[in-house]
């Protein structure tokens, strides 16, 4: 897979990413599988991973200011 920004190679890795789900609510998903660019640090998610992220974010309590969730395959 090639990076859409710089054209360099993307490698599979796991990382922690924050997602804003409300005006003052942030969810951090830990251990998220991503494709990361070896040059510019751009990242991409596979469609099945993004579907699971959508489900996770849809089930969080938006009244919480910060929530940390571990991604489980």
What pTM was estimated for this model as a whole?
Answer: 0.85
| CATH for 40 | 3.10.20
Q: Is residue 4 part of a domain?
A: no
In a domain, 65, yes or no: yes
DSSP-assigned letter for residue 8 = P
Question: Mean pLDDT over residues 1-14, rounded?
Answer: 94
Q: Into how many domains does the chain fold?
A: 1
Residue 5 lies in a domain: no
- Is the distance from CB of 41 to CB of 33 less than 8 angstroms? no
Q: Which domain holds residue 50?
A: 10-70
Task: Evaluate whether residue 64 is within a structural domain.
Answer: yes
Specify if 60 maps to a domain.
Answer: yes
Number of helices and strands in the chain (H, E): 1, 4
pLDDT digits (tens, 9 = 90+) for 15-24: 999 999 988 8
Q: Which long-range contacts (CB under 8 A, 24 or more apart) does 54-57 make?
A: 56/27, 56/29, 57/19, 57/21, 57/27
Structure tokens belonging to residue 27: 């969810």
Q: Is residue 26 part of a domain?
A: yes
Which tens digit of pLDDT belongs to each residue from 28-73? 999 999 999 999 989 999 999 999 999 999 998 888 899 999 998 6
């Amino acid at each position: 897979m090639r990076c859409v920004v710089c054209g360099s190679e993307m490698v599979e890795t796991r990382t922690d990413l924050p997602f804003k789900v409300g005006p003052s609510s942030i969810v951090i998903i830990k251990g998220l599988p991503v494709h990361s660019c070896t040059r510019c640090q751009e990242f991409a998610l596979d469609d099945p991973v993004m579907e699971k992220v959508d489900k996770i974010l849809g089930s969080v309590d938006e009244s919480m200011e910060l929530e940390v969730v571990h991604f489980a395959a």
